[in-house]
Amino acid sequence: MKTKPTILVVNDDGITAPGIKALMDAMRDIGHVVVVAPDSPQSGMGHAITIGKPLRLDKVDIYPGVEMYRCSGTPVDCVKLAVNIIFKGKKPDLCVSGINHGLNNSINVLYSGTMSAAVEGAIESIPSIGFSLDDFTLQADFSHCVKYIKELALQVLTNGLPTATVLNVNFPNTADIKGIKICRQANAKWAEEFDERLDPHKRSYYWLTGVFQNNDNGEDTDVWALDNNYVSVVPVQFDLTAHHAIPVLNSWKFNV
């Protein structure tokens, strides 16, 4: 009899977020689930890790029949502790992160705690996927995402992923999804502004605001796919080397 795969479920919105429950429930139909998640929201933490202070890892009983742990650290800390403490070095078959409340398309992948947890899984040589939905609210409906999540997880479990690659999957906020598009990351970013305000002591403080600007007209990008009601799937690598720039730099004449 074939053993069910072991699946690590993590997120950045915190262990009580609706998104992680939706992802956990989807994965329970596929394998044995272990959940390790932050004890509070950690959105925008990127690949931060905790140093200089201790980490807490507590087993919790939130949903019956699910092995769950609450971590005091970042999403990446959750993966590191799962691999080293819970699994004791024996890697799970799959790491899934999310479902994030809000998109992690285009440049957002660099800031995302959801995607950084998935990337950390890939660094640990665990096939990994990050999932996000275009809905920031706690009332977000994840039901239209489930069949795509299961299909992508099964494909990765069956076929594996190229070395050092993780999947960044984003869902439009509609039940009328047309299908899955394999995409590249769009050349798009946030045009950021800081709203200056005064506290009661007349000292300035700032709120980060801004608008999302798409500078990419391609129809092969994640932004295009989402705008046209497709699930976007972008293969992401954690090797940040700009390989195309190496010949350029090698042409420089250094005078030292």
Residue type, 237: Q
**Residue keyed to tokens 């609210």:** 137
Which ranges constitute the DSSP H helices of the chain? 18-28, 75-81, 113-123, 146-159, 222-227, 246-250
Domain membership of residue 206 (yes or no) is: no
| Structural domain contains residue 198 | no
User: Would you say residue 68 has pLDDT above 90?
Assistant: yes
Query: Is 181 a domain residue?
Result: yes
Mean of pLDDT values over 148-158? 98
Dump pLDDT digits (tens) for 45-61: 889 999 999 999 999 99
Structural domains counted in the chain: 1
In a domain, 147, yes or no: yes
In a domain, 70, yes or no: yes
For residue 107, the enclosing domain spans 6-186+218-250
Q: What is the pLDDT of residue 191?
A: 77
In-domain check, residue 125: yes
Q: What is the pLDDT of residues 183-216, one digit of tens each?
A: 999 988 877 788 999 999 999 999 888 788 888 8
Counting every residue written for the chain, the total comes to 256
Residue 2 pLDDT greater than 70, yes or no = no
Q: Please compute the mean of the pLDDT values over residues 211-226 and round it to a whole number.
A: 90
Instruction: Identify whether the C-beta of residue 233 lies closer than 8 Å to the C-beta of residue 181.
Output: yes
In a domain, 212, yes or no: no
What's the whole-number average pLDDT of the chain?
Answer: 94
Helices (H) and strands (E) in the chain, counts: 6, 11
Q: CATH number, domain at 225?
A: 3.40.1210.10
Residue 146 counted as domain residue:
yes
Maximum distance among all alpha carbons in the chain?
A: 69
